[in-house]
Amino acid sequence: MSDERFPTVLLFGAPGVGKGTQGAIFGCIPGFFHLSSGAVFRALDPHSPAGREVTADTVQGRLVPDELTMRVVFEALDRFVAQKSYHPHSDLLLLDGIPRTVPQARMLADRTDVLRVIYLVADDENAIVERIRQRAVLENRPDDTDESIIRERFAVYRRETAPVLDCYPDSIIDRVDAMGTPAEVLRSVLDRLIPVRRAAFAARTG
């Protein structure tokens, strides 16, 4: 494992608020690198021990164990660096779905400098549940079609993930209304990320 520390922004929020949508857009912009825990998990060999364990948890709406999550994420990051698809000295890392628990946040601190938390906020849970179900049809995600599993994910989020915000000072947490159109949310997130990226790499080169 590399000793490289990654300048990082967290895309944070409940299931379905648009973390992946925003991250995917930024991942296409030079100077940003988007890493989604969901994408990393889906890329695992489903017949491998890690793949089987991840699948068993995610289809039931449970969180993947902390140690396994962070091992898989760090291995993916090191692989992307080795492949030169991610350049830590010029790309701001956007983490989507990581960390999901307080222990994960502590483990993440070993390899990252979290500069900002973009907290996508949605007050209407029913609207988000419907958004997730529509996404399931469009993206062929069978685990997102069962409303009981979706509701369980919200319960897990409130119990396990929401406390992660307490790991970071209020001064670096930016709350963004997630209920606008993707373009409106993108504009709000962009306004916050551009200064963070500029400052992060100016500090490294200055």
Chain length of the chain: 206
> What pLDDT, on a 0 to 100 scale, did the predictor assign at position 50?
83
What are the φ and ψ backbone dihedral angles of 113, each rounded to 5 degrees? Answer: -110, 105
Distance of CA 33 to the CA centre of its chain: 12
In whole angstroms, what is the distance from residue 103 CA to residue 171 CA? 21
In whole angstroms, what is the distance from residue 63 CA to residue 46 CA? 17
In whole angstroms, what is the distance from residue 64 CA to residue 80 CA? 22
> What pLDDT, on a 0 to 100 scale, did the predictor assign at position 99?
96
* Amino acid at position 46, single letter: P
More reliable by pLDDT, 132 or 195: 195
Residue 143 has pLDDT above 70, yes or no: no
Contact 113, 78 (CB under 8 A): no
In whole angstroms, what is the distance from residue 145 CA to residue 197 CA? 37
In whole angstroms, what is the distance from residue 131 CA to residue 18 CA? 9
> What pLDDT, on a 0 to 100 scale, did the predictor assign at position 85?
95
Task: List Cα–Cα distances, 87 to 9, 38, 95, 153, in angstroms.
Answer: 15, 21, 15, 33
What are the φ and ψ backbone dihedral angles of 175, each rounded to 5 degrees? Answer: -90, 130
Mean pLDDT (whole number) for 194-203: 89
> What pLDDT, on a 0 to 100 scale, did the predictor assign at position 152?
86
Would you place residue 204 in the very low, low, confident or very high pLDDT band (cuts 50, 70, 90)? low
Identify the structural domains of the chain with CATH numbers, from first to last.
6-199 (3.40.50.300)
> What pLDDT, on a 0 to 100 scale, did the predictor assign at position 47?
84
